[in-house]
A and B are shown apart, each in its own frame.
Chain A
Amino acid sequence: MLGLNTRDASLFVIVVILALTAPFLLNPFPAESSLAQFNAGYPDLMQRFAIYGIFAIGFNILFGLTGYLSFGHAAFLGVGSYAAVWMFKLLNYNILPAVILSVIVGGLFALLIGYISLRRSGIYFSILTLAFAQMSFALAYSVLTPITNGETGLQVYTDDPQYLQSADAPSIPHLFGVTMRSTQDIDFGAWSFSFNAGYYVCAVMMIVMFYLSIRIFRSPFGMMLRAIKTNQTRMNYTGLNPRPYTLAAFVISGMYAGLAGGLLAAMDPLAGAERMQWTASGEVVLMTILGGAGTLLGPVLGAGFIKYFENIFSKINENVLHQWFAFLPDGLEDFLVTILYPFVGKGWHLTLGLLFMLVVIFLPGGLMEGGQRIGRIFRKREKKPEVRAKDPEHHPKPSPHVA
């Protein structure tokens, strides 16, 4: 199907179904129940899942395939956002030109930085990308304020030219008249589900990007990238120059990041400089490794995991905890709240840090490995142990990543 082998096709179909039914899947708890706190099916978070999914898929094309660890990918996301908002400011609120330009700008910026940084490998490459990203952030925050609007973030003002804005067009981002904010809420019994136009734009983009990444993974080009990761020297001896391939991978992942940045701006037309900070670059590294670098689905899972934490766990406050444990006797309730409180709400960083450590220590292949292990346990239970044919293509050996 679509040029994919059966296994990839089924993976792809699963992803498509999950992405399209996300509004249901992410709201498993009735709206009024105390567990509704854990519902993630509201437009903003769903959009972020899809957008950061795209970002991580793109990052994985570079890191997962070639092993080059970039610490500066947030810069491409940032310039993508700035490009999109500038299109809103100059043309109109239609997101199509904005997103197209952000992909182009992300790609060009990646070409520039990649061309220089890829002259080195290993940790030297990482530090070079980090240096470029930090410079972009520092300049965007201060000296480049006329272009980026600095601390406040670039946004659209009513006195911006907007040359193509027609009088009847919506004055918020839209795709040919369908605003990204328009949401249809459907109540079903105690449950409530939101269907948001913006989310579906992001989801469709993510599906397309996911498909593209499968094709890249399976293409001769993808093989070449893997060869770079496995043994660059040997590749050199066979008369192949790895530089053009890595640069291409770098630019492609930069374009993914640019697209993610453009979509972020399209969902919410404000671009802040913090998007380019090194911690933001670190975040996509964490997403990818947490989910499973080099796997197709892993980065998307990692992205969802981190964004879920950031948005759901940080909102659990003392009050909410007391509500949960209200059924317990007072002393026990207070005790439990005291124990749990440092880990949620303002302590969500602590929980995230602990989880990272646990995942890295016990699941070096990320969540995907966790899933596989669980799957293996079940399979063992069903049939007697069977030596599974290793598919080296689908599960590249965890050869040393570059740092």
Chain B
Amino acid sequence: MDAIIIQILNGLDKGSAYALIALGLTLIFGTLGVVNFAHGALFMIGAFCAVTLQRILTLSTVTIDETQKDFLGNPLKVETPYVVNWFGDSAGNSIIDWSVPLAIILAIPVMLFIGYAMERGLIKHFYKRPHADQILVTFGLAIVIQEIVKLFFGANPIPTPAPDMFAGSLDFGVMLGFDPNAIIYPYWRLIYFAFAAIIIGAVFAFLQFTTFGMVVRAGMADRETVGLLGIDIDKRFTVMFGIAAAVAGLAGGMYTPINPPNYHMGMDFLVLSFVVVVVGGMGSLPGAVLAGFLLGILESFASTTWATTTVPGINQIVIYLVAIIVLLTRPRGLMGRKGVMED
């Protein structure tokens, strides 16, 4: 029983990352009809927003301390971050400690801008082009973004710890009446899950309850008619692209304490998130979220010793296996609409 609860918890957490990326992908696909292979790169840029903020906060003055030596025997250069100088030791260091959550403030405008620029600068010209061209050009863009990040930050992962407050884990087992240590779960992952739930809720609320969202939904259903009504639907779709980028970026930024970011992390998520989108059904927002969580939980269960001893290697292939079964039994994914991407 406790093992099952553990894996459901794990799956929810993994699933929230999948769901956030898939949600963004689906927003772009549903509104603009573009298959965005650079979406993983947006996730990665979000993660590097956190790294950048960390770097900015730790910008330092250098003083030479003659009493200490560095590894070559020269006097040691002691670096003191400006924020520590300005706000004093404790306040300064706790600002640095909180750099990941603070990065949200940086990531939202940056990602909105990047999304906007991407749509206006590049994607706009590809609406009339075949999907294969869209895939290719966004894939090329993903490579370029990735390599530029590598140029500045190197290929090695960069540690970006969560605030000290959230170190350690919560003992769920005790709450539910199991032995201590039977079900533990890190605080930061719980926060990530809550964060994902809030973002997903916010996106749906935005689409459901605002006039802007209503117009966008109408546009997703029938772009032409909405256009004929005199609404500049393109402008709104551009904004949606920015929002999708921001969702991916926030997902990436908050994920950094779990996975120290490297320039390659976007590609690692790309294939999986496409599988998630297709399993959920192209163009269906609830489908993307549902499939994200579902695949996350399935992947967790496949990782148990019981599963891997029953079917060796199942943990490597379960997501693809599920994708194949779903696509063969439910042609349009779990919640897909008819006629999407079938030509």
Contacts and interface: CB of A to CB of B under 8 A. Distances in A.
A–B contact at 8 Å CB threshold (below) = yes
Interface of A: 69, 116, 119-124, 127-128, 130-132, 134-135, 138-139, 142-143, 278, 282, 285-286, 289, 293, 342, 347, 349-350, 352-357, 360-361, 364, 398-403
A402 B343 contact: yes
A128 B133 contact: no
Contacts of B192: none
Contacts of B130: 398-401, 403
A119 B151 contact: no
Contacts of B312: 143
B148 A350 contact: yes
Contacts of B136: 285-286, 289, 356, 360
B320 interface: yes
Interface of B: 35, 122, 125, 129-137, 139-144, 146-148, 151, 271, 274-275, 278, 282, 312-313, 316-317, 320-321, 323-324, 327-328, 331-333, 341-343
B139 A356 contact: yes
Contacts of A401: 130-133
A361 B144 CA distance: 15
Nearest to A399: B130
A350 B313 CA distance: 35
Given A124-B342, A131-B275, A350 B143 contact: yes
Given A138-B317, A139-B316, A353-B141, A400 B131 contact: yes
Contacts of A402: 131-132, 343
Given A350-B143, A350-B148, A361-B137, A124 B132 contact: no
A127 B328 CA distance: 12
Given A116-B328, A131-B320, A124 B341 contact: yes
Contacts of B134: 403
Contacts of B122: 361
B275 to A, nearest CB: 6
Contacts of A282: 139
Contacts of B342: 121-122, 124
**Closest 3 pairs between A and B when the two form their complex, measured CB to CB:** A403-B131, A353-B143, A356-B140
Nearest to B328: A119
A132 B320 contact: yes
A143 B131 contact: no
Contacts of A353: 140-144, 146-147
Contacts of B144: 350, 353-354, 357
Contacts of A400: 130-131, 343
Contacts of A128: 323-324, 327
Given A138-B317, A289-B136, A353-B147, A116 B324 contact: yes
Contacts of B148: 350
A124 to B, nearest CB: 5
A116 B313 CA distance: 22
Contact of A289 (B132, B143, B275, B323): B132
A264 to B, nearest CB: 24
B343 A122 contact: yes
Contacts of A352: 143
Contacts of A124: 278, 327, 331-333, 341-342
Nearest to B128: A400
A131 B324 contact: yes
A128 B324 CA distance: 6
Given A122-B341, A357-B137, 14 more contacts: A128-B327, A138-B313, A138-B316, A139-B317, A278-B271, A349-B147, A354-B140, A356-B137, A360-B137, A364-B129, A364-B133, A403-B35, A403-B130, A403-B135
Given A401-B133, A403-B35, A403-B130, A123 B316 contact: no
Contacts of A135: 316-317, 320-321
B35 A69 contact: no
27 contacts: A120-B331, A122-B343, A123-B35, A123-B131, A123-B282, A124-B327, A127-B327, A128-B327, A130-B274, A132-B324, A138-B316, A143-B313, A282-B139, A289-B133, A347-B151, A349-B143, A350-B151, A353-B141, A353-B144, A353-B147, A356-B140, A357-B137, A361-B122, A399-B130, A401-B131, A402-B343, A403-B132
Contacts of A403: 35, 130-132, 134-135, 341
A131 B144 CA distance: 25
B323 A127 contact: yes
A350 B317 CA distance: 31
A130 B317 CA distance: 12
A292 to B, nearest CB: 12
Contacts of B323: 127-128, 131
Contact of B316 (A132, A143, A349): A143
A75 to B, nearest CB: 12
A163 to B, nearest CB: 30
Contacts of B35: 123, 403
Contacts of A278: 271
B132 A123 contact: no
Contacts of B321: 131, 135
A127 B132 contact: no
A403 B340 CA distance: 11
Contact of A127 (B133, B278, B332): B278
Nearest to A403: B131
Contacts of A119: 328
Nearest to B145: A353
Given A127-B327, A349-B143, A342 B320 contact: no
B29 to A, nearest CB: 10
Contacts of B133: 289, 360, 364, 401
B147 A134 contact: no
Given A143-B313, A402-B131, A403-B35, A127 B341 contact: no
A398 to B, nearest CB: 7
A353 B140 CA distance: 5
B135 A134 contact: no
A166 to B, nearest CB: 39
A173 B261 CA distance: 44
A286 B138 CA distance: 12
Interface centre among A116, A131, A135 (most CB of B within 10 A): A131
B277 to A, nearest CB: 9
Contacts of B147: 347, 349-350, 353
A59 B129 CA distance: 21
B143 to A, nearest CB: 3
A122 B132 CA distance: 10
B271 A134 contact: yes
Nearest to B35: A403
Nearest to B339: A122
Nearest to B125: A361
